[in-house]
Amino acid sequence: MSWIQRRRSEAYYKRAKEEGFRSRAVYKLKQMDEKFFIIKSGMRILDLGASPGGWSQYSSIVNEEGLTVALDMIPMRNIDNVYFIKGDIFEKDIWSKVLKLSPDGFDLVLSDILMHTSGDRSRDQANSYFIAKRVLEICEHVLDNDGKALVKSLQGDLTDELRAEFKKHFRRVFLTKPPSSLPRSSEVYILGEHYSDR
Ligand SMILES: C[S@@+](CC[C@H](N)C(=O)[O-])C[C@H]1O[C@@H](n2cnc3c(N)ncnc32)[C@H](O)[C@@H]1O
């Protein structure tokens, strides 16, 4: 990591600490929300790969009047107004666990999940593609018509294929990289709007 990137990463880390957020990842969601107006109060939000909880903290603030359900395979400290489920997105029927908390489904599915990177670019990209496809499968079970999804992925050869998969389900699809995501990281976020389960 170059010193400029390290300084930028440290600055977001410091800011998160000062502002009481658990991770600097919170600024990625905040910046994407400010650009695309993703979260509105009163929504039912499912935050996948939520721990340590920056995105859930942000959701619980912006979505004060709604519901935020967070899921992660590792524990997460309690956040007011957020329901946490410990689970793995690859568990069979994981959607039935989350639907217990919101039986009529969700308006927004967030996923900031990334497996441990191996350093092997094509393997890491394939893993992230596999995760994003699983998130899409979860959307098919839990996302309401017209809902949205924001999903992290690693940019590479499979990005066009992933975008095409999203286009099968969402009327509008955007690929975005928030300013607080380090330039050297190949992470990007796919935003799907106006979900349809046709
Ligand atoms: C980059 S962190 C998320 C940071 C979070 N958005 C925040 O703002 O604090 C990625 C998370 O994904 C979780 N994760 C990885 N694989 C998962 C899986 N198969 N099922 C559920 N969570 C998973 C990890 O445990 C980790 O907490």
Name which of 195, 136, 185, 174 is nearest 36 in CA terms.
174
Query: What's the gap in Å between 70 CA and the centre of ligand 1?
Result: 10
CA dihedral (66, 153, 113, 115) in degrees, to 10, reads 180
Question: Over its length of 198 residues, how does the chain's per-residue pLDDT go in tens digits?
Answer: 666 667 777 888 899 999 999 999 999 999 999 999 999 999 999 999 999 999 999 999 999 999 999 999 999 999 999 999 999 999 999 999 999 999 999 999 999 998 877 888 888 899 999 999 999 999 999 999 999 999 999 999 999 999 999 999 999 999 999 999 988 889 999 999 999 975
pLDDT at 172: 98
Enumerate residues lining ligand 1, CB below 6 A.
22-23, 25-26, 49-55, 72-74, 88-90, 112-115
What is the spatial distance between Cα 78 and Cα 84, in angstroms, rounded to a whole number?
8
Query: What's the gap in Å between 49 CA and the centre of ligand 1?
Result: 3
Stated as kind and residue range, the H or E segment containing 154 is strand 143-154
CATH, range 3-195: 3.40.50.150
Residue from 30, 51, 71, 82 to probe ligand 1 pocket by mutation (most atoms less than 8 Å from CB): 51
pLDDT at 187: 94
What is the spatial distance between Cα 188 and Cα 150, in angstroms, rounded to a whole number?
10
Q: What is the atom index within ligand 1 of the atom nearest the CA of 53?
A: 9
pLDDT at 105: 97
pLDDT at 122: 86
Query: What's the gap in Å between 47 CA and the centre of ligand 1?
Result: 9
Task: Please tell me whether the overall predicted TM-score, pTM, comes out greater than 0.85 for this model.
Answer: yes
